């Protein structure tokens, strides 16, 4: 187990040298420094199979050496499927998937997020659904379903609750999407 202890130390040295690891920890990846780069997570990761340059193991490695710009300039973190195979397999309980989500949170604070993500967030705020197809009313009606599902789309009070919650989060400070008080639909 000596080698694990050494690598743990490497991680700690990395922490002293850069504040990226500390920032990622605070954004939700509290077990980050338990990683010893064994790569079991990579062996099961769909990002690897699909050919993305960064995936769980390499993202953690980049964080530990403080390669902030490298991560910000690469799209891979946004392609994570959140499939959580790595969470189940990690022998050190690092929860690599949480690291990727925390890395996205870091990127969002640097305004390095894809346009499609902004669109999803905006749609979530405007109608309560990240994925929304305004033309879905007709196929729904043909199937004998109400044009709108019984969600925030049908209940304006419910949508206002969602919006009130979102306005109380860091999203309001970031100004990524317009967040007006009430919605008309």
What are the residues binding another protein (CB under 8 A)? 27-28, 46-47, 49-52, 75, 78-85, 87-88, 97, 101, 104-105, 108, 113-114, 116-117, 120-121, 124, 128-133, 136, 139-140, 142-145, 149-152, 154-155, 157-162, 164-166, 168-171, 174
Residue 13: CB minimum distance to another protein, A: 27
Residue 14 or 174 with smaller CB distance to another protein: 174
Residue 184: CB minimum distance to another protein, A: 17
What the block records as the tokens of 149 is 């599902």
- Whole-number Cα distances in Å, 170 to 105, 116, 174: 10, 19, 6
Three-class secondary structure of residue 7 per DSSP: helix
What the block records as the tokens of 171 is 């999203």
Residue 9 or 154 with smaller CB distance to another protein: 154
Residue 113: CB minimum distance to another protein, A: 8
Residue 13 or 130 with smaller CB distance to another protein: 130
Residue 21 or 153 with smaller CB distance to another protein: 153
Residue 178's Cα: distance from chain center in Å? 21
Residue 66 or 78 with smaller CB distance to another protein: 78
Residue 2 or 142 with smaller CB distance to another protein: 142
Residue 76: CB minimum distance to another protein, A: 8
Q: State how far the Cα of 65 lies from the Cα of 110, in Å rounded to an integer.
A: 19
Residue 97: CB minimum distance to another protein, A: 8
Angle (deg, nearest 10), helices 2-17 and 56-64: 60
CB atoms within 10 A of CB 168: 9
Residue 154: CB minimum distance to another protein, A: 7
Q: State how far the Cα of 133 lies from the Cα of 130, in Å rounded to an integer.
A: 10
Interacting residues of 50 by C-beta distance below 8 A, sequence separation 6+: 79
Q: What are phi and psi of 74, to 5 degrees?
A: -120, 145
């Amino acid at each position: 187990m000596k080698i694990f202890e050494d690598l743990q130390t490497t991680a700690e040295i990395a922490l002293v040298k850069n504040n990226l690891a500390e920032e990622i920890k605070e954004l939700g990846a509290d077990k980050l420094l338990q990683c010893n780069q064994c790569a079991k997570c990579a062996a099961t990761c769909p990002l690897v199979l699909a050919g993305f340059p960064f995936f769980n193991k390499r993202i953690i490695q980049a964080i530990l050496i403080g390669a902030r710009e490298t991560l910000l300039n690469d799209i891979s973190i946004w392609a994570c499927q959140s499939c959580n195979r790595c969470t189940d397999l990690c022998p050190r309980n690092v929860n690599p998937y949480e690291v990727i989500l925390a890395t996205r949170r870091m990127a969002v604070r640097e305004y390095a997020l894809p346009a499609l993500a902004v669109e999803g967030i905006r749609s979530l705020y405007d109608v309560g659904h990240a994925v929304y197809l305004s033309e879905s009313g007709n196929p729904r009606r043909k199937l004998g379903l109400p044009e709108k599902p019984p969600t925030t789309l049908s209940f304006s009070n419910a949508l206002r609750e969602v919006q009130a919650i979102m306005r109380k989060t860091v999203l309001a400070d970031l100004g990524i999407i317009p967040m007006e008080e009430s919605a008309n639909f």
